[in-house]
Chain A
Amino acid sequence: MKHLAFAAGLLGASAAFAETPELTVYTYDSFVSDWGPGPAVEKAFEEVCGCDLKLVGAGDGAALLARVKLEGERSDADVVLGLDTNLTAAAKETGLFADHSVSADYALPVAWDDATFVPYDWGYFAFVHNADAAAPADFKALAASDKKIVIQDPRSSTPGLGLLLWVKAAYGDEAPEIWKGLSDNVVTVTKGWSEAYGMFLEGEADMVLSYTTSPAYHLIAEEDGSKAAAAFDEGHYMQVEVAGKLANTDQPELADQFLAFMVSDAFQSIIPTTNWMYPAVTPAAGLPEGFGTLIAPEKSLLLSETEAAEVRDAALGEWLDALSQ
């Protein structure tokens, strides 16, 4: 059909074609891949919007923000989807984002009140390990154990930054001590999540920094129950993924419609088994089977966006100090 429409446009019968408005959404790479939520989301939204939804992948969350900053006010993007709360303060500082009017009954473990960004999914960071091995119950026990871990560099990856803030949120000024204790457990630090998870699966480490929902992928998609996430007593740091509308969008109504669609059942029911995160609003049908087996942390840790922005540089310094010894 697309080809037909294109041909019609070329032949000059472009009136009907031009009436189909286009909504451009910048997001991260894994969202638009065939195995991510992208294809299903595009189909579902196009059924209701009478528009053409264009999902554009641009690296990961941090790269996404860099991209928007580079493009500035002339950006083609109408919506940016895939920032997290560690990036939203910097995103707001650009003045490129507009407020939204979406309200929903969020299933987040924390209260959500943000005028600019709408959450669409969330998850807990956790160390994933082989289910048949015992796992430490907190960072101190991990530091005291001889477990080997692979983590990601906070300077080049969002999970790496998440771990930095996790330790900071749990231990505050004690964080440097924790990192010193952990330094002999860290086999290595990788550029991104893919490298780290691949190394863990190759048997290079006992545990890898990932999400509590990672075992759900293995269980549901591969029917493999051999992976588990370690529950830590000091609580788990959360990643809340959000989307926002750009102030200079030429499709403000469509962008609002998309943000509202994002917290609707149609979108939210796609998330768990494609993005492997918790949906921001629990779908009517509930969570898929398999999610029930996941650990449910008793305490959710999340620094506010201003706190996260404030402690970020100092926490990086402490991390570098401890691991460069």
Chain B
Amino acid sequence: MAGRAQPVSAYPGISAALLVAALILGTLGAVALRAEAGTGFGASDWAALRFTLTQASLSALLSVGLAVPVARALARRRFPGRSLLIALLGAPFILPVIVAILGLLAVFGRAGWLSSLLSLFGLEPVQIYGLHGVVLAHVFFNLPLATRLILQGWQEIPAERFRLAAQLDAGPLAMWRLLEGPMLRRVAPGALAVVFAICLSSFAVALTLGGGPRATTIELAIYQAFRFDFDLGRAALLSGLQLVLTGAAALVALRVSAGEGFGAGLDRAVQRWDGRTALARGLDGVWIVLSAAFLLLPLAAIVLAGLPGLAGLKGSVWQAAGNSILVAMLSTVILLMLALPMAAAAAAGRSGITELSGILGLAASPLVIGTGLFILIYPIADPFALALPVTALVNAVMALPFAMRILVPRAREVLGRYGRLSLSLDMQGWAFVRRVYLPRMRAQTGFAAGLAVALSMGDLGVVALFADPDFATLPLQIYRLMGAYRMEAAAGAALLLLMLSMGAFWILDRGGRWHAEA
């Protein structure tokens, strides 16, 4: 697609991409420059690298592998509560790690529901700690995201294609070969790369459910370099390694996922004639029920644990909730201002740099970004005064990779379908953006904004380094409550966070698809 005249300029997007890359690489550089002679790379770092790669690969393969049948089932079925279910599926993704772990343990732990059920039959409790526990938790976090990304792929196949295929009497196999297979080849590598990158930088989950120091990830090694050794050089080195790994995964994924879309349709509701058999219905039902149980039971545990504490929440928790909402809204606005031009630039043929710098946000360690920003900002301004904008900016960059995966395929289609027509009508620049690009991107923009707002609300990340005494976000407040033994109040605050994030996600996602096919 590169080289063809496009109705939108790629430069705003490229500028945004450069800004993001400068932020991530600049902070890393700032940390490296402040470093004194460090210890360099040790044997334990290689072990951490191996473990990180193993668990991230397994987690990505399983998350995306399971997401394919689940997304297919969701794409083919219409049932009451479907959109609510899809929104709820997003929930695990945005929870503070500690809350999600406690939710998972309530179901799969040694004293959890599953173990209690097994003991009724005289069976041993499930053993959740180990590599399989790490992968289980990562699938819990990422299956919903992978499902949404792939579901979107399904919904981007124009309804006319399915109609045509059905008229030509294509069976399920032919349907798969002609429509679904090619779609997956485009969408799945991106989803794999995103999940892989998310799991690369995980550490609290990996450590806790991994069962001990065997489950050391690069991110924990970065943490150790900071906290245990205060070895900034090693932290920067490890962080650089993490960036290279993610960048490599992203490049592979982008190369594999290149390919043309399905062309234009009339945005009619998708109808699937091949899914009408009893067998197909049954299979789809099983997938939907199983995935819903897997994702919703731990959420139910969080809700049950939080209800008693919810009523007694003190003013400071509500204030923290207000701060979180503020950060999340600001962060979402920043995200859209970065991501929409970047998606347009990627679609206009400048995909390399924009998509790559978009995905870097996943690989950057919040600890390194936070420290780097601190080093950069400290000489010129008061870090406390900047807590709000800095947190919002970093959260936006962290959400950027997800937004790009959501926006870019659609932006390609919009430019592909309407680019030449618009050019022939001499509709370019802002007119094209306003009349064609933004309206056509509405559903995806809503989804991306919903994810960004939810992610930002649940993020602990950099705020810890910049936190003003009077400026706590809700996740930080949850940790403070737990630190003061207020477990019940913490559970209540966690439930509040869950409701706020879900509510915000639902409103934005729903808003984007208003009057569109649900």
Residues of A within 8 A of B (CB): 29-30, 32-36, 38, 54-59, 62-63, 65-67, 69-71, 74, 76, 90, 148, 153-156, 161, 183, 186-191, 193-195, 197-199, 201-205, 214, 217-218, 221, 276, 316, 319-320, 323-324
> Which residue of the partner chain A has the closest CB to B31?
A70
Instruction: Please give the residue numbers on chain B whose beta carbons come within 8 Å of chain A beta carbons, in ascending order.
Output: 34, 44, 47, 98, 101-102, 105-106, 109-111, 129, 203-204, 207-214, 220, 223-224, 226-228, 230, 314, 316, 371, 374-375, 378-379, 382, 384, 464-465, 467-469, 476-477, 479-487, 490
A-B contacts, 7 of them at CB < 8 A, read A58-B465, A70-B34, A153-B207, A190-B204, A198-B490, A276-B485, A316-B228
Q: B486 near A155 (CB under 8 angstroms)?
A: no
In the complex, what residues of A have CB within 8 A of residue B214's CB?
323-324
B483 touches A204 (CB 8 A): no
User: Is the beta-carbon distance between B378 and A71 smaller than 8 angstroms?
Assistant: yes
Instruction: Assess whether A70 is in contact with B211, with CB atoms less than 8 Å apart.
Output: no
- What's the count of A-B pairs with C-beta under 8 Å? 154
CB <8 Å contact, B375 and A214: no
Q: Are B468 and A56 in contact (CB under 8 A)?
A: yes
Task: Give the docked Cα–Cα distance between A31 and B296 (Å).
Answer: 35
**Contact of A62 (CB < 8 Å), options: B228, B384, B476:** B228
Q: Are B485 and A188 in contact (CB under 8 A)?
A: no
How far does the alpha carbon of A198 sit from the alpha carbon of B479 in the complex, in Å? 11
Q: Smallest CB-CB separation from A32: which chain B residue?
A: B469
Chain A residue numbers with a CB within 8 Å of B467 are 29, 56-58
The residue that B220 contacts in the complex, of A69, A71, A155, with Cβ under 8 A, is A155
Known: A155-B220, A198-B482, A204-B109. A190 touches B208 (CB 8 A): yes
Inter-subunit contact A188/B209 (CB<8 Å) = yes
CA distance A67 to B466 in the complex (A): 10
Complex Cα gap A204–B105 (Å): 8
How far, in whole Å, are A76 and B378 apart by their CA atoms in the complex?
10
Q: Is the CB of B464 within 8 A of A63?
A: yes
> Please, which residues of chain A bring their CB within 8 A of the CB of B371?
70
Contact A202 B111 (CB under 8 A): yes
B378 near A203 with CB under 8 A, answer no
Contact between B487 and A198, CB atoms less than 8 A apart: yes
A154 to chain B, nearest CB (A): 7
B485 to chain A: closest residue by CB: A217
Q: How far is the CA of A71 from the CA of B382 in the complex (A)?
A: 11
With both beta carbons as reference points, the residue of chain A lying nearest to B127 in the complex is identified as: A187
Whether B487 contacts A201 by the Cβ 8 Å rule is yes
Whether B484 pairs with A36 at a CB distance below 8 angstroms is: yes
Name the distance in Å between A319's Cβ and chain B's nearest Cβ: 7
A323 to B464, CA, bound (A): 30
Minimum distance in angstroms from A325 CB to a CB of chain B: 8
- By a CB distance below 8 angstroms, the chain B residues around A71 are 378
Q: How far is the CB of B394 from chain A (nearest CB, A)?
A: 16
* Interchain nearest-CB distance for A58 vs B (Å): 7
Bound-state CA distance A203–B468 (Å) is: 35
Known A-B contacts A199-B105, A320-B213; the reply to A29 vs B98 at CB < 8 A is no
Q: Tell me the smallest distance from the CB of B294 to a CB of chain A, in Å.
A: 19
Residues in A whose Cβ lies below 8 Å from that of B477: 33
Q: Contacts A66-B226, A67-B465, A155-B228 hold; do A35 and B486 have CB atoms under 8 A apart?
A: yes
Q: Of the candidates A33, A57, A90, A189, which one forms a contact with B207 in the assembled complex, judged by CB atoms under 8 Å apart?
A: A189
Please, which residue of chain B has its CB at the minimum distance from the CB of A205?
A: B110
Say how far B466's CB is from chain A's closest CB, in angstroms.
10
For the complex, give the distance between the alpha carbons of A188 and B469 in Å. Answer: 33
Taking the closest CB of chain B, its distance from the CB of A42, in whole angstroms, is: 9
Q: Is the pair A155, B223 in contact by a Cβ cutoff of 8 Å?
A: yes
CB A151 to nearest CB in B, in angstroms, measures 9
Report the bound CA distance from A58 to B314 in whole Å.
22
Query: How far apart are A195's CB and chain B's nearest CB, in angstroms?
Result: 5
Question: How far is A70 from B371 in the complex, measured between Cα atoms in Å?
Answer: 8
B224 touches A56 (CB 8 A): no
Which residues of chain A have C-beta atoms less than 8 A from B378's C-beta? Answer: 70-71, 74
* In the bound complex, CA of A205 to CA of B112 (Å): 12
A292 to B206, alpha carbons, bound, how many Å? 40
- Contact B464–A34 (Cβ < 8 Å): no
CA distance A187 to B207 in the complex (A): 11
Contacts of A32 in B (CB 8 A): 469
Of the candidates B228, B316, B465, B490, the one having the most CB atoms from chain A within 10 angstroms of its own CB is B228
- Whether A199 contacts B102 by the Cβ 8 Å rule is yes
Q: Which residue of A lies closest to B487 (CB)?
A: A201
Partner of A33, one of B98, B212, B465, B483: B483
The answer for the CA separation of A205 and B468 in the assembled complex, in Å, is 36
CB-based nearest A residue for B315:
A34
Q: How far is the CB of B444 from chain A (nearest CB, A)?
A: 35
Among residues of B, the one whose C-beta sits closest to the C-beta of A214 is B485
Contact partner, A195, options B204, B210, B384, Cβ 8 Å: B204
Complex CA gap A55/B469 in Å reads: 7
**C-alpha spacing A186/B480, complex, angstroms:** 26
CB–CB A221/B487 < 8 A: no
Chain B residues contacting A161 (CB-CB under 8 Å) are 228
Pair A203/B481 contact, Cβ less than 8 Å: no
Q: Is the CB of A189 within 8 A of B98?
A: no
Assuming A34-B314, A34-B316, A62-B227, is B109 touching A203 (CB within 8 A)? Answer: yes
Which 10 A-B pairs give the minimum distances between C-beta atoms?
A203-B111, A30-B483, A35-B484, A194-B482, A33-B480, A155-B224, A62-B227, A191-B204, A217-B485, A189-B212
